[in-house]
């Protein structure tokens, strides 16, 4: 009896030791994402080398000034939640943030008014349509779809509390600067170029006004939105913005608490569902990371609690998503086992 008992004890102890050991199959199931410096350094360099010669897509030209950006620029960056930075290629070249600004402005509104305000006044449903689809704005009644497509993003801008358009833009810029931990500037040529050609966004704003779904003067909101999209960032700065989300709202470089941690999962949920617009399903299926793209060629992906992975490459596909940036992020995410769904 006694020996049976001690045998059982020994077996239980053995199972426990296997379970907690670094070789444990249970650990593998929990999928610890590596932040080992040598691995991250190697993966960033490999991803850059692997896709540097890909020529698929072309720089967006519906904003005339964007067509002038040298298409071969290519940068890949990881910034970890501890503030470690790993880079390859053109990571210090400023480009316009474009739609990558959208989740950050949504975060600012959440910070000011609570995350329910986004759900109630804009909506959180993916459209499955292009980022500037007028049809989507029209058919999704009572909501402006979500803050990551143009209509919802213009609505989000209009929600930022301010007495004037100037004050509203400054609030957005300051918030982005705190996320990036550095001063940022508008790239004026791109702003002027888009401001002269953004009739479609004005149409969105007027449709929103007709449905009582915009919360400042509609044309003023489009102008502030256009300025917001023209803020210049480098891939490195954008990666710090993403790493602030990965680090639960605390900038890992400056240590400033920029966003309440309870809003972070809401921002990431929006990015997961709509960050790649009409390619969001495919991105979730292949990379499995919350991410946001912009027609300037930037993409930021967030590995929650761990790091941001950023790509910058001006050639975009029909959905407006940077081809090489997406490939590089997916390459790194797969090798790190960073898919948030596991597997």
Show the site string, 315-334: x = touches ligand GLN by CB under 6 A, - = not: -----x--------------
CB of 332 vs ligand GLN, minimal distance in Å? 22
- Asked if 302 contacts 332 with a C-beta cutoff of 8 angstroms, the reply is no
What CA–CA distance (Å, rounded) separates 47 from 332? 7
**Which listed residue (201, 234, 237, 322) binds ligand GLN by CB under 6 A?**
201
- Asked if 100 contacts 292 with a C-beta cutoff of 8 angstroms, the reply is yes
What CA–CA distance (Å, rounded) separates 227 from 156? 14
CB of 48 vs ligand GLN, minimal distance in Å? 23
Residues 207-236, interacting with ligand GLN (CB under 6 A): 229
- Asked if 309 contacts 329 with a C-beta cutoff of 8 angstroms, the reply is yes
What are φ and ψ of residue 299, in 5° steps? -140, 130
Q: Does 276 bind ligand GLN (CB under 6 A)?
A: no
Q: Does 98 bind ligand GLN (CB under 6 A)?
A: yes
**Which listed residue (294, 297, 311, 314) binds ligand GLN by CB under 6 A?**
294
Distant-in-sequence, close-in-space partners of 112: CB < 8 Å, separation ≥ 6: 160, 161
Q: How many residues lie near ligand GLN (CB under 6 A)?
A: 11
Q: Which residue is nearest to ligand GLN (CB)?
A: 99
Residues 169-198, interacting with ligand GLN (CB under 6 A): 194
Nearer to ligand GLN, 229 or 329 (CB): 229
Tell me, letter by letter, the H, E, C secondary structure of 35-104: CCHHHHHHHHHHHHHHHCCCCCCEECCCCHHHHHCCCCCCEEEEEECCCCEEEEECCCCCEECHHHHHHH
Nearer to ligand GLN, 193 or 339 (CB): 193
Q: Does 99 bind ligand GLN (CB under 6 A)?
A: yes
- Asked if 132 contacts 330 with a C-beta cutoff of 8 angstroms, the reply is no
Q: Does 278 bind ligand GLN (CB under 6 A)?
A: no
Q: Does 69 bind ligand GLN (CB under 6 A)?
A: no
Nearer to ligand GLN, 295 or 332 (CB): 295
Question: Nearest CA to 330 among 297, 282, 296, 294?
Answer: 282
Enter the tokens of residue 270. 């929006």
Nearer to ligand GLN, 33 or 67 (CB): 67
Residues that bind ligand GLN (CB under 6 A): 98-99, 131-132, 150, 194, 201, 229, 294-295, 320
């Amino acid at each position: 009896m006694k020996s049976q008992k001690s045998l059982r004890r020994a077996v239980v102890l053995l199972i426990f030791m296997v379970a907690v050991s670094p070789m444990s199959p249970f650990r593998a199931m929990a999928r610890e994402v590596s932040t080992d410096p040598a691995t991250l350094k190697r993966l960033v360099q490999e991803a850059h080398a692997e896709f540097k010669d890909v020529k698929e897509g072309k720089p967006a030209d519906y904003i005339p000034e964007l067509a002038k950006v040298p298409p071969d620029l290519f940068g890949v960056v990881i910034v970890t939640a501890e503030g470690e930075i790993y880079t390859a290629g053109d990571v210090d070249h400023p480009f316009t943030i474009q739609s990558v600004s959208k989740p950050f402005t949504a975060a600012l509104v959440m910070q000011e008014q609570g995350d329910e305000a986004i759900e109630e006044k804009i909506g959180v449903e993916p459209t499955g349509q292009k980022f500037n689809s007028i049809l989507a704005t029209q058919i999704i009644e009572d909501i402006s779809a979500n803050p990551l497509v143009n209509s919802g993003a213009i609505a989000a801008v209009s929600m930022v509390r301010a007495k004037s358009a100037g004050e509203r833009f400054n609030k957005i810029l300051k918030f982005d600067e705190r996320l990036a931990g550095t001063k940022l500037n508008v790239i004026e040529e791109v702003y002027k170029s888009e401001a002269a050609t953004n009739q479609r966004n004005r149409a969105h704003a007027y449709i929103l006004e007709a449905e009582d779904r915009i919360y400042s003067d509609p044309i003023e909101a489009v102008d502030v939105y256009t300025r917001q999209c023209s803020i210049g960032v480098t891939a490195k700065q954008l990666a710090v913005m993403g790493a602030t989300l990965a680090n639960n709202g605390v900038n890992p470089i400056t240590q400033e608490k920029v966003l309440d941690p309870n809003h972070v999962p809401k921002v990431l949920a929006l990015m997961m569902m709509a960050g790649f617009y009409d390619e969001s399903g495919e991105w979730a299926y292949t990379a499995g990371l919350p991410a946001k793209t912009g027609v300037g060629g930037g993409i930021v992906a967030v590995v929650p609690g761990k790091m941001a992975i950023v790509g910058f490459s001006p050639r975009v596909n029909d959905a407006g998503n940077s081809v090489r940036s997406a490939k590089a992020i997916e390459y790194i995410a797969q090798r790190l086992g960073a898919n948030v769904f596991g597997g």
